[in-house]
Amino acid sequence: MAHVMESHPNIAAVQLPDRAVRPETVRELLLACRNPASLRIHYASMANPEPHPREIVPHTLVYSGFRWHVRAFCHKRQQFRDFLLSRMYGQPERTDTLPVTDNEDTLWHTKVSFRLVANSRLEKNQQRLIEHDYAMQNGVLSIETRGALVHYSLQRYPVAFDQAQSKNALAYPLTLHSEDFPVIAPYMFESWGQG
């Protein structure tokens, strides 16, 4: 059941779900982001739900609007990945492994631009309403973000990702501009994975 946070009798906000993020974990990650260092964490994922050791070099904490993760180099996978803070167990520990700099994180340093438009299956007056809702300019909402954040950016909007979803225009009143599907494809989770 969602809770409502009220700070004023005339203001209310739906509380987001709490995630198990420990302050000492955040502190160690922030220290390693500021002064690059390799950390040993115990991490669980949907593919491997039992906590297991991973060695990472964090460079940026990211809030997606729903949850916190850290962008980090993974020594096991030899690539930069995202690790959810709520899936870390225990306290991160520094190791002697040399850190990798975030300069090598291509996805992080790549700027990606794409456009969202009103779902064409909506009636014209509904499309105009959606364009007004999202303050679109000439019927287009332009978004620029980092390659590593494209998927998270899209998750913030009710965007149809495929034909099946676009048929349900009331649930997915936004779609990607038709020319931008190939632009974002390399930056979606299915292309590069998490944790």
Do 114 and 64 share a structural domain?
no
pLDDT of residue 160: 92
Do 153 and 68 share a structural domain?
no
Please tell me the number of Cα atoms within 13 Å of 23 on its side-chain side. Answer: 0
Residue 87 is part of which domain span? 4-102
Beta bridge partners, 5, equal 13
Beta bridge partners, 57, equal 73
21 CB burial (10 A radius; 0-12, 13-18, 19+): middle
Residue 148 banded pLDDT, cuts 50, 70, 90:
very high
Q: pTM here? A: 0.85
pLDDT of residue 144: 97
Q: How many domains does the chain have?
A: 2
Helix, strand or coil for residue 139?
Answer: coil
Domain boundary among 64, 86, 102: 102
pLDDT of residue 8: 72
191 pLDDT above the threshold of 70: no
pLDDT of residue 192: 43
Domain boundary among 102, 119, 142: 102
Domain boundary among 102, 120, 145: 102
